[in-house]
Amino acid sequence: MAVAAVALFAYTSVYAQTITDTPTLNVSISPDTPPSQTFLPSTKNVTFATFSFAALNADIRIAKITFTFTGTALTNTSVSNIRLWDETGSTLTTPVSSPIDSNNQVIFYDLRGVISKDTVKKIRLVGDITENPGEGTVMFSINQQSHIIAYKGDTVENPITPSGTFPIKGNVMTIVSDPTTNKPPVITGVSGPTSLKVNETGTWTITANDPEGGALTYTIDWGDSTSFPTPISPPAILNSGQKATFTHSYAQAGTYTVSFTVTDDKGASAKSTITTAVTDELLPDLKPVKLEITNPSRTGNEIWKAGDRLSVAIGIKNIGSAQTPTKVSYTVNLGFVQLESETPTTLKPQEVYESLHTVTLQSDITKTFNATLTADQSYASTGWTPIKETDETNNALAIVLIIGKENTPPVITGVSGPTSLKVNEEGKWIINANDPEGGLFTVTADWQDGSTPEFPTGTSTIAFHHRYTSTGNYSITFTVTDDKGASAKSTVSVNVINIDASNVIVISPTWTDAWQIGYEYNILWTYPKELANKKVNVFVLALPYPSYESQGTIIFQKDGVTAPSPDLAGEVIGNTMWKIPASIKTGQYNVQVQVTAVDTGKFYDDLSDLFSIVQSPTINQPAITRITPTSGAPGTVLTIYGKNLQDDCGKREERVCQLTISLGGYEIKRDRFVEFKVTWAQDRITLVVPPKAQTGAVRIMRVDSEYKDKSYDIMGPVFTVANKIFPGIVCEVKIPENVIIIDSYVDVGQGNSAYWIKNGGTLKTGAGSNKFFIENGGKKFGGGGSHTAYVKKGGSFDGEGGSSNLIYYEEGANITNPGGSSEMKKCGQITFTSSSTITTPPTTTQIRDTARTLHADNIDALLAEIKLLRSQVREQETKIKYLEKLTSGAQEISQKTEEQLNTFIAYGVDENTKRLGTGERAAVLHSFKSAFNKLPESEDELNDAILIANGKWPKARSEEAEARAEKEFKRIYKREAVMDNQNDNAAITVMAYGLRQRAENRNLKSETQGIKTFKHIYGHVPQTTEEWNLMQGITYSGATAKQ
């Protein structure tokens, strides 16, 4: 019901004295609401008018002002709870009657109070619209009446004439209520992927409009606990449809319901959902056969053998649009086997069903077969829908069929290693395993002592070395994992005991030894150092394992023996020779050494590792008869004489036929026969004693997986490695993990560290006890201290009078001022080998972290991670030699970017790029510039450059660079590249972006052949970075002229 209101005012004033300036009360009214305004039902606190009271010249006390409102009803519109509010929103008075819901209804309000001089008091007329089912109006008018006011505390009443802008008689305002409610938005379409792989990014599009033409906001719930925390608002497109696009990826497999909510600017909303099935990469090495619905059979060519286990994955997707879920079952006939669904499946629109079958072939499959898909018609009468050709109105279904051999996990054929160790004694474990598919496998060793597990890769035999720093019984778990993720485990135990440094320690025999009856062997032990040159009683006993079976066999017993002097390493070594008697039984034994000090009577004893005593070979079996010489230094030519030492492995792979020569436990396998000049005949074997050979029995092992009767493991006499380095031999030096690399000028002062001086680096040192590994072009100078140095040809060592240095050097090394009491040892060749294993390739996440650190200019953190010292000289040289050429012709880059790129070239940013070298790192940036016509600046671009340096595909792609690569590919291979072929794809990527081989994967022999191939095609060797990228693609991609 509509209302009209009329306000009537009366003023009264009381004076007590003469007033010079007449107090004046100005009263004005203005509508707060426009003449025409839309309201929804039950709109509260609508302001119909505002009254302003202004006190001029003096404070004015209002004794009483009466407001009279008369309502007139129109079109069933009602206004209730009419009230007067002051500026703070407080209700001033209580009406006499309310609401106004009938014609000519009168409401009175009384207003009292004081208005300060020169201030304005505002009062609002407020009400609630409680009913407006149709269009209506609310009118009010204000008529001037008498005004009764009081001035201060006067007792004399005098009228005061108001002045100013008093409301005009008949002032009218119209309020129009909305005849209809707000209409919610309309979703006209939702599209997105119905299936994704884990971590694959999908794109969803939603189209909607607002009937009133207002702006829309979107909220998405992805169904995986991920949603936008606040609505997303694309720009409003009035009076037309709006389209919004979103991307997302899922970290886990599953079926997800994506919910879209579209909301207009008045709060009304609409919702829509879509389902996405997320799967892991399913059998990535399998050969696909795809069954299209429009052509439900397709021919595939495979060759499988009886006994092969095949995996068949069937995926069915409801591609229809009907809202009723479709019920389906299936039968797949491959010709040699028929597969059926276990239970019928109900599928909603866009929903996917997957099932995996495993089949063992009963006979060979060498012919072409057909794969066909049919439906179980028996369900048609009860609502089950057969699979048929595409018909979206009837919820047609699609099917994908993947067929291939099931991966077989690796097999661990043996694990050997010590069952007991002493604290800090190095143990060696050997794991023999194979992959039935012939692939590579990775072995993890979990030592159970808090140390980091190791991850070497191999194809047959893997060796581990480890030391324990505390006593205990440790269970070591070896896990062998093939390149498809299948694994096998084996666990062995080792008991670690603490040996008093003042006790006897037996060092030979060891757990790897198998001593033959009738041969003589050397038993070695160390005396406590306090027994050097003193009289002792020695008793040596061979104890069968377990020792309670007999009292053992006496090997040596003598009183009053003089213990020897310490050797160069400070050890006091005792020994005795033992020819194993024919009367002894074969089996496992310990050697026990007991020592008693004559002067003090103190008793010492120790047990050796468990070792084997084996029967001597018969006349027809392989045997070692003698060796010559019986001792010598590394580099000595050793001849092992014997019988039936056949080597007919030929060109068969080492995993099929293995040959091993062991000197004191140090093994030489077939892949190192050339290095140590091994020749093998029926009656003798000759070799050069390796630098790491140990004193101990000569052992020959032959393992033939095809002709097992030709396998043997025989022992021979002891060969003693002399503790001396002779000219002409190879000095193989193991560089410690904590080495500091020096490839610029560095002054470190005094200290006790290890330094690897290479790439023209120069190191100045003071006093201390350091180790120096000096490459060609490296220099070390500075006096004082006692150092150990290994100096290769072209390297320089200046001791400047150091007191006692130990210097190993090659012919052509520059040695000056070695020191008065220094020892010089010449080597025919010095080789440096790193003691650390090859670093695990960084993951994309680690590379992203590195790019973020580089982009943030945190250079010191990067260098600390790769153990390099910062050098201004190096950075200046790199800038002049490489960076200035790189920036020529490129976009203008900031000083910050220039420093980041210079850091990358000068040092590298991870272990792999560090090992590439400055030239290779500069070539990476040149390749990036060539591919993308700019140098990397942003974090994403730096990330791509580091990916390229690590041999990984960049995230960004360049159509122009790939087109150039495809053109060169055709010139090289005389055919078009097929990007679905992984070798062709690799060739294009390497040629386009310059992907680098990891340092440990470089094959210089293959690259030499690659250069020859390049020269044959192009008429010259590679000269530019782009040409070297082509050579890398030829060498490493695996692409061939024949697809």
pLDDT in tens, 772-823: 999 988 898 887 777 889 999 999 988 775 666 888 888 889 888 776 567 7
Q: Report yes or no: 496 and 448 within 8 Å, Cβ to Cβ.
A: no
More confident residue, 235 or 295: 235
- The CATH number of domain 623-712, selected from 3.30.70.100, 2.40.30.200, 2.60.40.10, 3.50.50.60: 2.60.40.10
Average pLDDT over residues 7-27: 42
Q: Which two tokens stand for residue 102?
A: 């009938």
List C-alpha distances in Å: 519 to 114, 516, 660, 717. 127, 6, 21, 7
Q: What's the pTM value of the predicted model, to 2 decimals?
A: 0.29
Tell me the average pLDDT of the chain: 73
Extended beta strands in 13-77, E state: 14-15, 24-30, 43-56, 60-71
Q: Which two tokens stand for residue 931?
A: 């591919």
Give the CB-side neighbour count of residue 980, counting CA atoms within 13 A.
2
Q: Which residues contact 963 (CB under 8 A, 6 or more apart)?
A: none
Q: Which residues contact 83 (CB under 8 A, 6 or more apart)?
A: 91, 92, 93, 95, 98, 126, 127
Name the one residue in this structure whose structure tokens are 């009886």.
Answer: 306
- Structure confidence by residue, pLDDT tens digits, 620-643: 678 888 888 887 777 788 999 888
How far is residue 413's CA from residue 432's CA, in Å, rounded to a whole number?
Answer: 5
* CA 373 from centroid of its chain's CA atoms: 41
What are residue 816's phi and psi, to 5 degrees? Answer: -130, 145
Q: Report yes or no: 458 and 478 within 8 Å, Cβ to Cβ.
A: no
- What is the CATH number assigned to the segment(s) 186-278? 2.60.40.10
More confident residue, 16 or 520: 520
Q: State the amino acid at position 463 in one-letter form.
A: A
Give the CB-side neighbour count of residue 137, counting CA atoms within 13 A.
10
For position 538, what pLDDT does the model report?
Answer: 93
For position 40, what pLDDT does the model report?
Answer: 55
Average pLDDT over residues 720-741: 67
Q: Which residues contact 560 (CB under 8 A, 6 or more apart)?
A: 535, 536, 537, 598
How far is residue 517's CA from residue 509's CA, in Å, rounded to a whole number?
Answer: 15
For position 942, what pLDDT does the model report?
Answer: 94
pLDDT at 224 over 50: yes
Q: What angle do CA 619, 717, 708 make, to 5 degrees?
A: 50
Q: Which residues contact 111 (CB under 8 A, 6 or more apart)?
A: 62, 64, 65, 66, 67, 84, 92, 93, 123
* Burial class of residue 885 in the structure, from the number of CB atoms within 10 Å of its CB (0-12 exposed, 13-18 middle, 19+ buried): exposed
How far is residue 327's CA from residue 320's CA, in Å, rounded to a whole number?
Answer: 12
Q: Which two tokens stand for residue 512?
A: 């790897």
> CB 375: neighbour CB atoms within 10 A?
17
How far is residue 402's CA from residue 289's CA, in Å, rounded to a whole number?
Answer: 6
Name the one residue in this structure whose structure tokens are 């490839």.
Answer: 743
More confident residue, 913 or 28: 913
Q: Which two tokens stand for residue 846?
A: 């680690």
Average pLDDT over residues 663-674: 85
Q: What angle do CA 887, 892, 893 make, to 5 degrees?
A: 80
**pLDDT band of 918, cuts 50, 70, 90:** confident
For position 870, what pLDDT does the model report?
Answer: 80
What kind of fold does domain 505-609 have according to CATH? Coagulation Factor XIII; Chain A, domain 1 (2.70.50)
pLDDT at 4 over 50: no
- Residue by residue, DSSP assigns 789-836 as EEE-TT-EEE-SS-SS-EEEEETT-EEE---TT-EEEEESEEEEEESS
Evaluate the omega torsion of the peptide bond into residue 41 and state whether it is cis, within 30 degrees of 0: no
pLDDT at 160 over 50: no
CATH 2.60.40.10 holds for 411-497? yes
Name the DSSP class of 881.
I
pLDDT at 167 over 70: no
For position 175, what pLDDT does the model report?
Answer: 42
pLDDT at 73 over 60: no
- Structure confidence by residue, pLDDT tens digits, 834-874: 754 435 567 788 899 899 999 988 888 888 888 777 877 77
For position 64, what pLDDT does the model report?
Answer: 56
Range with lowest mean pLDDT among 280-294, 638-652, 714-728: 280-294
pLDDT at 145 over 80: no
How far is residue 929's CA from residue 941's CA, in Å, rounded to a whole number?
Answer: 11
Average pLDDT over residues 246-269: 84
- Structure confidence by residue, pLDDT tens digits, 370-389: 444 443 333 222 233 333 33
- What is the CATH number assigned to the segment(s) 282-405? 2.60.40
How far is residue 974's CA from residue 1040's CA, in Å, rounded to a whole number?
Answer: 10
Q: Which of 401, 393, 326, 319 is nearest to 359 (CA)?
A: 401
Average pLDDT over residues 719-733: 63
How far is residue 784's CA from residue 856's CA, in Å, rounded to a whole number?
Answer: 42
Average pLDDT over residues 550-562: 85
List C-alpha distances in Å: 440 to 414, 433, 651. 17, 10, 20
Would residue 857 be called left, alpha or beta, if left means φ above 0 and alpha means ψ between -120 and 50 degrees? left
Q: Which residues contact 417 (CB under 8 A, 6 or more apart)?
A: 427, 428, 429, 430, 476, 492, 494, 511
Q: Which residues contact 212 (CB under 8 A, 6 or more apart)?
A: 182, 183, 264, 266
- Structure confidence by residue, pLDDT tens digits, 1007-1038: 777 888 888 888 888 888 889 889 888 887 77
For position 715, what pLDDT does the model report?
Answer: 85
Q: Report yes or no: 770 and 782 within 8 Å, Cβ to Cβ.
A: no
* CA 748 from centroid of its chain's CA atoms: 36
**pLDDT band of 1000, cuts 50, 70, 90:** low
pLDDT at 341 over 80: no
Sign of the alpha-carbon dihedral angle for 161, 166, 171, 174 = negative
For position 962, what pLDDT does the model report?
Answer: 92
